[in-house]
Structure 1
Amino acid sequence: MNSLLLMITTLLYSACQTAPAGDDFFLVQQGRSAYVIVTPADATKAETKAATIFQDYVQRISGVKLVILPEGQYKDQPAVFIGNTTHTMGPDRIKDDGFFSGSKNKQLYIRGGSGQGVIYGVYHVLQTYMGCRKDDKGPAAVPTLKDIRIGGALSVLREPAFIYRESYYPASTDPEYLAWHGLHRFEDLWGLWGHSFFKLLPPADYFKAHPEYYSLVNGKRQPLQLCLSNENVYALTVAWFKKAIAGNPDAMYWSVSPQDGGGACTCDLCRKADAEEGGPQGSLIRFVNRVAAQFPGQRFTTLAYGYTAKAPLKTKPAGNVYIMLSTIDAFRQEPLSQAPSAAAFRKNLGDWEATTGNLFIWDYTTQFTNYLAPFPDYQQLQPNLQYFARHHVKGVFSQGSGETYGDMAAYNSYVQAALLWQPDADIKMVNDGFLKGYYGPAAPFVGQYMDALSAAVKSTRSTLDIYGNPIYNIRDYLSPVLIDQYSTLLDKAEAAAGNNNTFLQRVYETRLFLEYVVLQQSRFYGNEKYGYLQPDGSVNPKWPVRVKRFTDQCKAVGVQELSEGGLSPDAYAQEWQELFSREWINSLALHAPVTLVNAYTPEYSPKKEATLTDGLTGGNDFSYNWLFTYGKDMVATIDMGSSKAIRQVQLNFLQDARHYIFNPARVLIETSADGTTFKSAGVKEIPAPEEDYAIHINHYTFPVAGTARYIRVSAQCPATLPEWRLVEGKKPALCCDEVSVQ
């Protein structure tokens, strides 16, 4: 632990080490103790572990190692009773994995409900009364004291609002952090987690010989989902669970859930069930209930997500079936209880609440496409969890950046942990407790930084989209002007941290989020102000150094990937090297105005029509420097201002099947002197793609002879998605980047 925090903690404790008043007592005084730790005669594993943890931390704080005794050997000396000993105080029953801590007659009592409740109780006492902290996955902060004083008349009962509590951030990889904050991991609770259909019946094992096991979509069996009316699918699923449960008898939950995506089966039997139940959730719930009936002692979960989000009209989930409802379609700048984008979620929540008493929520508190982008939903954390509790939700999986470092990861995890226990906790006290413990004297300025972000989201009416991008917010809460204001607050935080390396490093880590935005937005600006290029198109010499410093810091703090399934810091640096090495092409059409016949998709084309003539070419991410046209032809007319001699036109199209982006079926280049009469200058017919989910940038060059003022590019959108990517409700999109005229 850093020296400054130790000094502050020691001063605070020393100030309190006067003679005990009332029931106050010294557990350790002047480096000595008369106390022992007493456990039940037949202690559980959790009770034994809790006693060992308490013993260890008392020794770390004071140097005194308290003796642990089973209750049968206890001789009425001063004691800390850990577990359900016969020497007890507090309620007869503790709900779920809650805990109780109390003191009476200068004795200390720590008890727990089920599971690790008693361990949670020990960590609560260590933090609340003994000055220890663990705010991230690093080592716990432990003060060094000769005296440990316990305030008198303690009586604290904590029973969690939710039986399942997961905040999915890097700290959740540390078992002690989880126990300290009373959190869970799905790896510890689920024998089978998440989208599980193809874990039960992998297409690689079954599809070739038994296509009938998989969904019938557009008249053809496809390995998109399972056919839930097929009796062999049911039999194989039951057989799989018999073996898996026997091999993992301690697992609390087992998932039977569709794959991520569409493709529900439309065979006659599945369609009949779905018609009776109001949608594909019908055949799913009936199937899960059948499986669950074979294992009445087990608990099964399934996902209310995508095409199964709605509650069925007739069939209720069985008593041992838990529904995990997703909030994925909602924006995050407002509480879910009132956000217009969450209207469908609220309807589904109410319907599921009326259908089952076993309801979990799968929530999201990060931007999956840019983990490091500032995502200030901080003020929604409490109202959202309060809303879930009011609707009798039993568990919450709050998905953050996972094992990789993301925006305010330590803060989000800490606050979510507190609110998952007590949604109505004093949020100011929770926030202040974390900020002061984590940032020390820099805390006020980091708090102001977070408040400024939240205020800017409101004042600029920004959208917080879990699949957003920093370049979509250049005109609102992540504008360059506001970024400078945020940076000034972090400058003050750095100054306040002084030469304390721990606090200073944490401020540096917080600054990474702004630095990431600046780097990403510089790709949008190109050779304009705030871009990575100079006005002549050459690379700003400061930028390679800046990128290297950023990626080095990312690796130092544990960034594994910058987006869900995205680039590592090293791959990100390599991507920048490719950008730096690109030749700047002084196109005859540079910054020429563009007229479109069909509208671009504004949320994915922040530069609008200018994307085609801004001098910047696109990369693998369709968010940057691609003109996105959804379901229609791209017909663009470029006015070069005067007649010019032309020898070629070059342009690129992106293929990204995962996002339904494909090559055009046909590209036609035309030229004109007056903008009215056009003549063909070249045409290419492009064959339909074979199945391929890799990202490709396809280059097309058209030789052109003569002079023209206007260039018209007509890219024909494919009529339908290819059969291998055919999903109901989706259309193909076109992404075109720079139209370079030489």
Structure 2
Amino acid sequence: MKAIVLKYTLAWCLAAIVVSCSNQDKLILVNNGEADYEIVVRDNTSEDNHRSAEILQNYMQQISGVTLAIVNESEQSNDVAQIYIGSPSDENLEEHTIQIQTDNKNLIIAGGSDLSVRQAVYEFLEVFLDCKWYAPEAEAIPDNRTIILNKPIDYKYTPEITTRTVHSRLFYENPGFADKHKVTTEAFPYYVPTARVHTFHKFVPEEVFYKTHPEYFALRGNKRLPTQLCLTNEAVYNIVKDSVAALFSQFPEASVISVSQNDNQQHCTCENCKAIDASEGSPSGTMIQFVNKIAADFPDKTISTLAYQYTRKPSKTRPLDNVLITLCSIECDRSGPIEEKCIDFANDLKGWKEITENIRIWDYTTQFTNFLAPFPNIHTLQPNIKFFRDNHAKWIFEQHSSNPSELFELRSYVMAKLLWNPDRNKNELITEFTNGYYKEAGIYIKQYVDLIHEKIKEHGDFFLFLYGDPSQAFSSFLNSELLATYDGYFNKAEEAVAQNATVLKRVKEARLSIDYAILEACKKNLNKDFSMILINAHGGKMINPDVIKRLERFYNTCKNANITLMNEMRFTVDEYYANYKNTMTVATQPNKALGKKVILLTKPKKYANEDPQVLTDGALGGNSFYANWLGFEGNHLEAVIDLEEKQAIHSISTAFLQVTNHVVFFPKSVTYYYSNDNKHFSKLGTVVNDAPLSKTSKINDIKYFDLEFPVLEARYIKVVGENMNEPPYWHHAAGLPSWIFADEVIVD
């Protein structure tokens, strides 16, 4: 007992020595729960600065238990020291600059604007008082009854990226959390809300103008199609100018409007447009000339346009000073930094830098076809942001999924920190987050992050695509051995926090990506350890119990976390769950075509290695066209399956995929035939698509074309899927060939 008292007394003596140190080198804001400070806001300051003062007051109270008074400058006391919030009138800071400095016993927290003052307060709390904000409901605030800072403090920072957006609902739905991380609270700040991107179809709607004025639209081949606008048509310019004027009048507080191409590559090739693009060296030539005309009509506003896909290469014409170039990196391989893996884009950015100072980067950081899939690109975020910064991009929009995706909180945190300061140590940031957010489980989640990124680097030729699928990686960073290892990390992580319900929930959400990858591997019957189907003692098929358990865990975790979407095509978690259960039913059905030879009478293209056996291999396709689907572009599916001998059959079913925004549609119909000599085929019946394509069609779906008939004997089955051949005129890909994707043919 004496030793404890002695230790306690010694601690207080040491504290007294520290507190008694000269004010020359210490700033004692709080001493053992007491403070001789007040927070001072400048006279005639804004409500925003008063709010910033309240934020500082609140967090200092949480840290120390002391509530500092907030007073106006003209009412400040003479017998206490001051913490000043806001820049003095004689301090001329740049708009985005923050400054934290000491003046004798006083502390000054300042910024070049009200927003910068708020950012300076949060920087002070984070850098000097060690506050951490991991997620809207997860922060770490120190518990210190004594707050002592070393003097002098002269901290000044001007972010080179001045408009920072992370496309995450964590920031959009929680403005206070966005403020703490110094990112915007919306995707398109300052923009007219109804004209933010891909606006041609809004200014000149096909429904209004196409039938009466087809010349307003793009010439493709020998036909005008409403895919894009004809930018050399004077009437189009006048319509767009009037639309822009009307929208600025409707939204006078907005300073930016997008005058930009629709989301397709079907630009106008009429003689006038073609001549300009040829002389400019890029289809961005007609775009910039057109946008410059609009910008000249609105000199006090900013006209934003896209350098995207066909307009990505710079024009020779310089954009006007009030034109904002939004340069998009959608095509890039995400397995490595853009400068290494996407050289053409890198060169385009450098080219735009030579002709404009107004560049907004639209970057992409998640797999849009599979939000919850493992997507090991975190190692590329910092080099990419630094590359953008070094090429004078002052406005960066990092298009994450907005909706939850793999390691959603971690990615949102790291991206925000790197946008504020691209030179931060990325590995320290990740460790800081995993240890702070996942507590004792953090070490295992960090091991997962490190290993999966290490493994993708070992496969230098792997193209990590925004529109890819985990099935592409089952022979590389998601092979069966690694999936088992990753799964083991999450088992340990859950064990480490099993008694902490709050943190356990976070770990389960982090685990979703590996559960999803394993579920997809089992659907593909990757190997005996990752298979949907087991053979029971009687030789019959049964669903692997681990798959059932994992699917239920995946679904329940999503439900508990309010995670509703699987991809950008609005495919829901509920639909995935229902489809997976249906797939289990299909997988256990008798199938006389399983493993049987397939002969294709028409040629597939690109996907599933163009292997006809995909139709009978027992691996069932997922909701991405990369996931075990055989694709036919602009032609029909015609396949013959050899059952090897005559067999009694009474039903045939074939699955087809639809992804309308990627020009993948259900067939118009599927017709089944049978034969016993592979020469003379008799028609069994036709299944017509009962949900033909329309503007309101479900974007992402799977449909089974089922046919039942009286029992007969057959050896050969022919399947003919009728392709639409090309989309309707109103589709963004009008004039291009359309796809059909087929998977397992089931014969019983």
TM-score grouping bracket, smaller chain normalisation: 0.7 to 0.9
Distance 1:515 1:161 in 2: 39
Partners of 1:159 and 1:421 within 8 A in 2: no
CA deviation after TM superposition for structure 1 residue 626, in Å: 2.9
Counterpart position of 2:256: 253
- Answering whether residue 51 of structure 2 is matched by residue 49 of structure 1, we say yes
CA deviation after TM superposition for structure 1 residue 303, in Å: 0.8
Counterpart position of 2:352: 352
Q: Which region of structure 1 is more displaced relative to structure 2, 353-362 or 458-467?
A: 458-467
Counterpart position of 1:732: 738
Counterpart position of 1:401: 401
Deviations 1:357-407 (A, max 9, x none): 2112111110111111111111111111111122222221111111x2111
CA deviation after TM superposition for structure 1 residue 167, in Å: 1.2
Cα 1:513/1:645, change in 2 over 3 Å = closer
Cα 1:139/1:204, change in 2 over 3 Å = farther
Counterpart position of 1:369: 369
Matched residue of 2:340: which SS?
coil
Counterpart position of 2:574: 570
Cα 1:726/1:301, change in 2 over 3 Å = closer
Cα 1:571/1:726, change in 2 over 3 Å = closer
- Answering whether residue 705 of structure 2 is matched by residue 699 of structure 1, we say yes
**Equivalent residues, number:** 718
Deviations 1:526-565 (A, max 9, x none): 9965233333344345544543332221132231311113
Partners of 2:456 and 2:477 within 8 A in 1: yes
Matched residue of 2:533: which SS?
coil
Cα 1:443/1:528, change in 2 over 3 Å = closer
Cα 1:718/1:304, change in 2 over 3 Å = same
**Equivalences for 1:331-480 in 2 at 5 Å?**
331-339=333-341, 342-402=342-402, 404-461=403-460, 462-480=462-480
Deviations 1:98-130 (A, max 9, x none): 311122312111111235111111001111222
Match for 1:507: what amino acid?
A: V
Distance 1:687 1:495 in 2: 52
The two structures have a TM-score, normalised by structure 2, of 0.87
Q: Which region of structure 1 is more displaced relative to structure 2, 145-154 or 267-276?
A: 267-276
**Equivalences for 1:577-726 in 2 at 5 Å?**
577-582=581-586, 584-596=588-600, 600-602=604-606, 604-605=607-608, 608-615=611-618, 621-632=624-635, 634-644=637-647, 650-654=653-657, 656-662=659-665, 663=667, 669=673, 671=675, 673=677, 678-682=679-683, 691=694, 693-694=697-698, 697=703, 699=705, 701=707, 709-711=715-717, 713=719, 720-725=726-731
Match for 2:232: what amino acid?
A: S
Match for 2:682: what amino acid?
A: A
Cα 1:646/1:64, change in 2 over 3 Å = closer
Structure 2: tracts of 5 or more residues without a match:
1-10
Matched residue of 1:332: which SS?
coil
Counterpart position of 2:543: 539
Partners of 2:225 and 2:734 within 8 A in 1: no
CA deviation after TM superposition for structure 1 residue 311, in Å: 1.3
Match for 1:135: what amino acid?
A: Y
CA deviation after TM superposition for structure 1 residue 436, in Å: 2.7
- Answering whether residue 187 of structure 2 is matched by residue 186 of structure 1, we say yes
Matched residue of 1:188: which SS?
coil
Match for 1:160: what amino acid?
A: P
Q: Which region of structure 1 is more displaced relative to structure 2, 557-566 or 215-224?
A: 215-224
Partners of 1:324 and 1:359 within 8 A in 2: yes
Cα 1:213/1:632, change in 2 over 3 Å = closer
Counterpart position of 2:27: 25
- Answering whether residue 529 of structure 2 is matched by residue 523 of structure 1, we say no
Partners of 2:674 and 2:715 within 8 A in 1: no
Deviations 1:497-533 (A, max 9, x none): 4634443332222112111212233222299652333
Distance 2:15 2:661 in 1: 61
CA deviation after TM superposition for structure 1 residue 325, in Å: 0.7
Match for 2:414: what amino acid?
A: V
Cα 1:702/1:139, change in 2 over 3 Å = closer
Partners of 2:523 and 2:620 within 8 A in 1: no
Matched residue of 1:739: which SS?
strand
The two structures have a TM-score, normalised by structure 1, of 0.87
Match for 2:422: what amino acid?
A: P
CA deviation after TM superposition for structure 1 residue 164, in Å: 1.7
Deviations 1:676-699 (A, max 9, x none): x62233388999976564457362
Cα 1:565/1:356, change in 2 over 3 Å = same
Match for 1:518: what amino acid?
A: I
Distance 1:389 1:136 in 2: 26
Q: Which region of structure 1 is more displaced relative to structure 2, 232-241 or 324-333?
A: 232-241
Cα 1:740/1:578, change in 2 over 3 Å = closer
Partners of 1:82 and 1:111 within 8 A in 2: yes
Partners of 1:634 and 1:715 within 8 A in 2: yes
Partners of 2:33 and 2:65 within 8 A in 1: yes
Cα 1:650/1:181, change in 2 over 3 Å = closer
Structure 1: tracts of 5 or more residues without a match:
1-10
**Equivalences for 1:488-507 in 2 at 5 Å?**
488-497=488-497, 499-507=499-507
Cα 1:678/1:705, change in 2 over 3 Å = farther
Deviations 1:429-481 (A, max 9, x none): 33333233222333332221101010111224443211111222222111222
CA deviation after TM superposition for structure 1 residue 160, in Å: 0.9
Cα 1:459/1:16, change in 2 over 3 Å = farther
- Answering whether residue 326 of structure 2 is matched by residue 324 of structure 1, we say yes
CA deviation after TM superposition for structure 1 residue 320, in Å: 0.8
Partners of 1:333 and 1:464 within 8 A in 2: yes
Partners of 1:170 and 1:409 within 8 A in 2: no
Partners of 1:106 and 1:152 within 8 A in 2: no
Distance 2:16 2:139 in 1: 23
**Equivalences for 1:3-42 in 2 at 5 Å?**
18-19=18-19, 20=21, 22-42=24-44
Q: Which region of structure 1 is more displaced relative to structure 2, 59-68 or 207-216?
A: 207-216
Matched residue of 1:338: which SS?
helix
Match for 2:32: what amino acid?
A: Q
Cα 1:350/1:656, change in 2 over 3 Å = same
Matched residue of 1:186: which SS?
coil
Cα 1:647/1:543, change in 2 over 3 Å = closer
Counterpart position of 1:63: 65
Counterpart position of 1:131: 130
Deviations 1:217-253 (A, max 9, x none): 4444443233333334333333333343344444342
Matched residue of 2:524: which SS?
helix
Identity of aligned residues (%): 31
Counterpart position of 1:283: 286
Partners of 2:726 and 2:734 within 8 A in 1: no
CA deviation after TM superposition for structure 1 residue 613, in Å: 1.3
Distance 1:140 1:204 in 2: 50
Match for 2:72: what amino acid?
A: P
Partners of 1:547 and 1:573 within 8 A in 2: yes
Counterpart position of 1:107: 106
Matched residue of 2:334: which SS?
coil
Partners of 1:98 and 1:159 within 8 A in 2: yes
Cα 1:422/1:15, change in 2 over 3 Å = farther
Distance 2:53 2:650 in 1: 82
Counterpart position of 1:171: 170
Deviations 1:51-85 (A, max 9, x none): 12112222232332222222223344301111112
Partners of 2:655 and 2:742 within 8 A in 1: yes
Matched residue of 1:555: which SS?
helix
Distance 2:638 2:581 in 1: 33
